[in-house]
Each structure stands twice: as C-alpha cells, then as structure tokens.
Amino acid sequence: MTDLATPPKTYTPTPVRSRFALGNRERNLITKVIAYLVLILGAIVMIVPFFWMVSTSLKDSTSIFILPPEWIPLQPTLKNYEEAWDVAMLPRGFVNSTFIAVTSTIGEVFASMLAGFAFARMRFPGRNALFGILLVTMMIPGVVMLVPSFILFTQLGWVNTWSPLIIPVLFGTPFAVFLSRQYFATLPADLEDAAKVDGANYFQTFLFVFLPLARPIMATLFVLGFIARWNDFIGPLIYLRSTELYPIPLLLARLNSLYEQNWTLLMAGATLALLPILFLFFLLQRYFVESVALTGIKG
C-alpha cells in the first residue's frame, strides 16, 4: 500500500500548486485522524464479542450475572474449559473435523489443479465447451442439491458416515478448477517444451514442472477448501447421526442444546473451537487474503 503514497514533494513546482499542497497536507492530516478513529472504533466492535466470549469463559457461573460486567474476571477459572472439553466431546471433534477437512481438501486441490492445468495448457477438442459447462455448474445454488444428494447417499448407504462429506469433493470443485486454470494460464509459454525434450509425458510435466511453480495457488486453494469444509454445518447435520462422527460446528450446536443458558460453559466451548482456526488464520494470513482477492475475480 506504500506505493500509493502521495508524492507531494515532486508535485509542487508552481506557487499556486504549492499553496494547494500545503492545504492538502493539513487536510490529509485531518483525514488521517478521522480514518484512524473510524478504524479503531470498528476494530473495537469487531473484537469485543471475542473478548466478551473469553472473559465469560473464564468466570464462574455466578459472576457472569454481575452488572456492570467484569471485563477482566477477578477470579479467573479454567474449570469451564475442563468441563467443555469433555462434555462437548471436543477432542473427538477436532480429530473428526481435521480428518474430514484435510482428506477432502487434498483430493479437491489435486484433482482441480490437474483439470485446471489441462484447461490452461493443453489443446483437445471441446476444451472450451467443457470449461463453459464447468462455469455454468458454478451457478447451481447449493440448496437445490440438498434433497437429491440426501436421497442418493441414502441409496448408497452413506448416511451416518463421512463419505457424503468427503468423496464428492475428491473429484474437484468447479471453482477450484476455475482458479487454477486462471493461474496456470499466466505461467510462461515455453515451460512445456523443456519437459517435452526430456521425454516427460503430460502427467510428469504437470507434476514436476507446473505443480512446483503453482505453490501459491495451491496454498490458496487449500486454505479456501479447508475453511469451507471445517465450517460446513448443514452437510454434517443432514448426514451424521452418531455424535462420535460429529465435526466441531455440530458439536457446538449440540452443546448449546444440551446446556442451554450455561453461558460460561458455552463460551469456553466456543473459545476452544475457535482457537485452531484462529491460529491457522494468523499463520497463513497471506493466503487467506489472496484467496479473497481471487474470489473477487469470480464475478
């Protein structure tokens, strides 16, 4: 963002303009102060719910009813965390969520990148038509698929297993194919030739030449897919019956219905559920932000 800085010094050759620039500088200062105030206020609004969550989770169940609320608990306790960890079945949930999200996303990313590579770098009859079909399928709203998918998976005997959540994704998703095609299309034109001279087939070319060059898009796709799968709610809600199979979001909903109004416990559960994703977010922030920029292309 620094490249967008105003270059006032090189921009003030005449007296008229310099008067202008001076006024601008003062005005810029006011603008900046207002901008900071707005942003800080907004940031407070964004953070306070999380702060409130953590604060509540550290209190015992009577001190949450003290008004005005204690923002920083006077006698913090970890008791709620111990309880939530067990009654919400969170350890189990983390294993389940991680397994579902990681396996499905690895398959999704690989299959989608392979197809994206073919669409961007290879010539075969009907290529553009097939790509067009793929774009059209992106338009199908997910809600239309709820009922028919359920019927299909019931007939396949997949209900109350993770298969409906993992297997369809392994084939690749239109959006991921689209994003990887766009990325591969930007790579230099003569990359294939060297591989061809070495006698590599197309799969080897993809695997050893293009895939290593496509790490940024790979990371972005992985982040996008992982978050979508980890946060999925309606899929697990429809297909899973046994609580041992539940991923984290479903376990939180279950915790809420079992311990309604038990705010300290619920907030401890929510905090625990958010921590790994938050950790991942701060670690891989760059790819999260890039993924947003990419989804912006979609329109």
Using CB under 8 A as the binding rule, the residues of this chain from 207 to 266 that contact another protein are: 227, 230-231, 233-234, 237-238, 248-250, 252-253, 256, 263, 266
151, 154, 158, 160 alpha-carbon torsion, rounded to 10°:
110
Return the residue matching tokens 């991942």.
280
Find the helix or strand (DSSP H, E) in which 283 lies: helix 263-283
Stretch that binds another protein, among 33-41, 76-84, 182-190, 209-217 (CB under 8 A): 33-41
Distance in angstroms (rounded) separating the CA atoms of residues 134 and 174: 6
78/237 with CB nearer another protein = 237
283 binds another protein (CB under 8 A): no
Find the helix or strand (DSSP H, E) in which 185 lies: helix 174-185
171/208 with CB nearer another protein = 171
104 binds another protein (CB under 8 A): no
Minimum CB distance to another protein, residue 227 (Å): 5
99 binds another protein (CB under 8 A): no
Q: What is the CA radius of gyration of the chain?
A: 26
Distance in angstroms (rounded) separating the CA atoms of residues 252 and 273: 8
Distance in angstroms (rounded) separating the CA atoms of residues 104 and 165: 8
Binding mask 49-78 for another protein (x = CB under 8 A): xx-xx--x-------xx-xxx---------
Total residues contacting another protein (rule CB under 8 A)?
A: 108
Q: Nearest 5°: CA angle at 229, between 225 and 230? A: 115
How many other CB atoms are found less than 10 A from the CB of residue 259? Answer: 17
66/78 with CB nearer another protein = 66
Stretch that binds another protein, among 77-85, 138-146, 182-190, 209-217 (CB under 8 A): 138-146
Binding mask 105-134 for another protein (x = CB under 8 A): ------xx-xx-xxx--xxxx-x--x--xx
Q: Give the one residue of 22, 34, 258, 283 binding another protein; rule: CB under 8 A.
A: 34
In three state form, how does the secondary structure of 93-150 look? HHHHHHHHHHHHHHHHHHHHHHHHHHHHHCCCCCHHHHHHHHHHHCCCCHHHHHHHHH
157 binds another protein (CB under 8 A): no
Question: Restricting to residues 79-98, which ones interact with another protein according to CB under 8 A?
Answer: none
279 binds another protein (CB under 8 A): no
203 binds another protein (CB under 8 A): yes
